Chains A and B, each alone.
Chain A
Amino acid sequence: MSESDCAVTLEMARAHGLSDDEYAKVLDIMGRVPNRTELGIFSVMWSEHCSYKSSKKWLKTLPTTAPWVICGPGENAGVIDIGDGETAIFKMESHNHPSFIEPYQGAATGVGGILRDVFTMGARPVANLNALRFGDPSHPKTRHLVSGVVAGIGGYGNCIGVPTVGGELTFDPSYNGNILVNAMTVGIAPADRIFYSKAAGVGNPVVYVGSKTGRDGIHGATMASAEFSQDAEEKRPTVQVGDPFTEKLLLEACLELMATDAIVAIQDMGAAGLTSSSFEMASKGGLGILMDLDQVPVRETGMTAYEIMLSESQERMLMVLKPGREDLARSVFEKWELDFAVVGHLTDTGRMVLTHHGHVVADLPIDPLAQASPEYDRPWEAPAKRPVIEAADVPAHDIIPALKTLIGCPDLASKRWVWEQYDHMVMGDTVGRPGGDAALVRVHGTKKALAMTSDCTPRYCQADPREGGRQAVAEAYRNLSATGALPLAVTDNLNFGNPEKPAIMGQIVEAVRGMGEACRSLDFPVVSGNVSLYNETEGQAILPTPTIGAVGLVQDYAHTAGIAFGGEGEAVILLGETKGWLGSSLYLRELCGRTDGAPPPVPLHRERRTGEFVRELIGSGQTASVHDLSDGGLLVGLAEMAMASDIGVSIEPVRSVPLHGWCFGEDQARYLIAVPQADAGRILELALRAQVPARVIGKTGGTDLIVEGAGAISVAELKQTHEGWLPGFMSGRTKGA
């Protein structure tokens, strides 16, 4: 008896992660009891990871259009117009569960997967970013996980030769059992050669290219849709193994074939491998596929239909070719020494029919699986609003020691140890390296550049998911604007706990609402995204973490700004309003050991107005020294500018706000800029006209950072503290904070 004949029971369905209701729906759709292969296909297609069944209802509320959006969510990645016949294609995706189980391969294949999402659409990837969240530094696993994830990201990106130019790395005990690895790729493609996944042309050949199919990663998508228990390590066999060299060959071969007219549709095999790629292509085209699994290149003998369909082996693609172009395509893939196999053809039946060893092993209707997957309106409850904390009610610590504590704390310490392990210069177009507000990568052969950033402040999202959602988008907008780039669009990576719990579902609903408000208000549509739920271990959920990846455009990279001061004797101007907001701030957490209070509200209209003003100043060459203010507030931002330029600075605080609030408050919509003294008056006038609050707070020069009336510290000492923590922690010299 073949495995496809063995009887499926309700218990088997449950073991495959299907609920009883879902299994009833399966029986209804099939009109009979499915066999094991068919059950496996239902289970991955309806997993949270592939079907977005808990989040779909809310994701639909996000703004996804703008005149410059060519393709929004629903394809492999989002596409935006960047002018002159070119487009930027980008997306962020999580690989959280696998990275916790096997950090190197989990992170590496996360990078590989997101790269494929981008080049499957015809783009040459030009930059990678990553947003990483780890547990408490003092947790026994944290060091091992940081080390493995960073090595895995570098191992993949460095080998394939795409620069890793930016990202984030922060710590919180809520990630002890569920780290977050969110990887983003940005590519560039000609506007008239974008490739989609919609199959067309009955009878057209369905072609498999890339690596052979092995037994790795079977049911990865299902694993990523369940909570972890203590035995997470036992799931190691569900983690895929990456081969960046093969991916490099696949990238070059695909781009070479894409320059011809051979391809009708193309889809990478990511989560749920051959199953989701074939269903997606057929479903979008309203067609069927007849596929012969004997033709699928396999790595091992004796693989069953179930294993072939559910394998998540990496570096594979599925294509529909124009009739008669098989030989041309074959020659390209043979040149790059990759497998190439015609595995089936398109039919007009609307059914997926799989044969193996001469027998039909699965026969499923495509639409009910791919489009009519379950969609839930899960019960949710909004979290209670937290009280606003006045700065005057927060203990005032000495300013300079407090600055030193903040600048050396795990979240704000320099991440040089990380990004020096990433090749951030390969491809020869990195004109804004890691360490600034946003990375800048030139559009090859032009004066234009893409600005890219990744942002989220999980502690704000925990305190108030709606405000946190707004803030994540606003901070991305601010970071792009600070380089002079016009913010164009975002990709979102929503990381949350178990959506079946109303409190967690409430976080999702509120965060998505907040993001939507900010995106609408800032003309900053969402063009792609990914959802990672069930980030819980033993009932402990992560902080809500809706990571925002964003892309902006600079017309001429000669007119951009960095965070370093331009020289000595410049005037430092603070843009935006400072009330000294300390609720949910880093100051409160690091200096007072508290995480309470409402987070800072995000004034979206001022955010937009101030961003526009800053971009105008940079674009007209009036300043090249700009830094956005966020975590740690004004004094941390100022210290970062001083450290980036090795130039001191002296500032005079205002008296209307408590000093510690003024220095470390995290009021939103603010920037610091430095300009020649002689220009300061004129720029204040321009700011007044633009209705942007502005004030000269000090001037650059010397070797120290001086807060008049509150003390001083040398820039060298700041640097030592700032640069020292992470290398010390990773080498085991310093304990976690």
Chain B
Amino acid sequence: MKAAVIVFPGSNCDRDVKVALEASMGHDALMVWHRETDLPPVDLIVVPGGFSYGDYLRCGAMAAHSPIMQAVKARADAGVAVLGICNGFQILTETGMLPGALMRNAGLKFICRDVDLRVETVDSPFTRCYRAGDVIRLPIAHAEGNYVADAETKKRLEGEGRIALRYASAAGKVTPEANPNGALDNIAGILSPNRRVLGLMPHPERAIAPELGGSDGKIMFDGLVEALS
């Protein structure tokens, strides 16, 4: 698998995801500066977390208009896998590559902690190595992760099995108490119609070894390498 990580001014999880990818791939991931207008041939594009352009406007709104995003969009349309993590998820919704939007957390505060997530579908290159209904544990770290979408979008996401992850209790129950940010129906991650684009608020790249607090994120990267090589 060949992978590229997009770097915006203000990205700050770009190195973390590079480390995670390289641990699973066994070779270098490519870092692509936001001013580039083209991408080399790759199997996976990661839009990493951080505060692109400071997020002084709506989160991700500026990055969505940076030169490289046209190329990312074109590749996604051609079926290349795209993973948007945290600020990357916000950017993907701002470009329209994923539906809905990410609003200020219901509690109005930045939240950094581990959360339990229920795997809702294994039908994607990102989630194929989990089992449906698995409860996995990943860190979140955001102030704007409150996913919203209109009723019709929600119906489509559900009907097409495009909700990838939901905030849940350790026992796998989707409850209001398990929802850290007020997201609609506890939605933590969603897929594009062709299932090749995943946007999620949790950080799989922060859970790739026991000493970091868990390895559930590594399963996602290992699965991608298997699926896209």
Contact = CB atoms under 8 A, between A and B. Distances in A.
A248 B143 CA distance: 19
B141 interface: yes
Interface in B139-188: 139, 141, 143
B9 A161 contact: no
A185 to B, nearest CB: 15
Interface in A149-166: 151, 154-155, 158-161
Given A249-B9, A423-B112, A431-B212, A159 B19 contact: no
Residue among B109, B112, B213 with the highest chain A CB neighbour number at 10 A: B112
Interface stretch (B36-44, B49-57, B66-74, B91-99): B49-57
A300 B213 CA distance: 48
A422 B113 CA distance: 9
A442 B16 CA distance: 13
Nearest to B19: A428
Nearest to A432: B211
Contact of B112 (A248, A422, A557, A558): A422
Nearest to B111: A420
Contacts of B83: none
A425 B139 contact: yes
B15 interface: yes
B120 interface: no
B15 A427 contact: yes
Interface string A410-434: 0000000001111111111011010
A557 B16 CA distance: 19
A336 B9 contact: yes
B51 A244 contact: yes
B112 A159 contact: no
A591 B208 CA distance: 46
Q: What interface size band does chain A fall in?
A: 20 to 34
Given A426-B141, A428-B205, A430-B212, A244 B54 contact: yes
Nearest to B208: A428
A419 B111 CA distance: 9
Contact of B212 (A151, A420, A428): A428
B18 to A, nearest CB: 10
B45 interface: no
Contacts of B141: 158, 423, 425-426
Secondary structure class of chain B's binding surface, majority of residues? mixed
Residue among B12, B49, B111, B208 with the highest chain A CB neighbour number at 10 A: B12
A75 interface: no
A596 interface: no
Nearest to B113: A420
A433 B54 contact: no
Given A431-B211, A433-B213, A158 B16 contact: no
Nearest to A730: B109
Contacts of B213: 425, 433
A337 B9 CA distance: 9
B213 to A, nearest CB: 7
B13 A421 contact: no
Contacts of A558: 211
Given A161-B12, A161-B13, A422-B112, A245 B56 contact: yes
Contacts of B113: 420
A243 interface: yes
Contacts of A155: 110
Contacts of A244: 51, 54
Contacts of A422: 110, 112
Nearest to B112: A423
Contacts of A336: 9
Interface in A394-423: 419-423
A423 B145 CA distance: 14
Interface in B107-154: 109-113, 139, 141, 143
A427 B16 contact: yes
B51 A424 contact: no
Contact of A428 (B56, B143, B206): B206
B10 interface: yes
Nearest to B53: A245
Given A154-B110, A159-B51, A420-B113, A425 B212 contact: yes
B48 to A, nearest CB: 10
A159 B10 contact: yes
21 contacts: A158-B51, A158-B110, A158-B141, A159-B51, A159-B54, A161-B12, A244-B51, A245-B51, A245-B56, A419-B112, A421-B110, A422-B112, A423-B110, A423-B112, A425-B203, A425-B206, A426-B16, A426-B206, A428-B16, A428-B205, A431-B212
Given A160-B12, A161-B51, A425-B139, 19 more contacts: A151-B109, A151-B110, A158-B143, A159-B10, A159-B54, A161-B50, A245-B9, A245-B10, A245-B55, A245-B56, A248-B51, A249-B10, A421-B109, A421-B111, A425-B112, A426-B13, A427-B16, A428-B19, A428-B206
Interface of B: 9-10, 12-13, 15-16, 19-20, 49-51, 53-56, 109-113, 139, 141, 143, 203, 205-206, 208, 211-213
Q: Which 5 A-B pairs have the closest CB atoms?
A: A161-B12, A245-B54, A428-B16, A159-B51, A423-B141
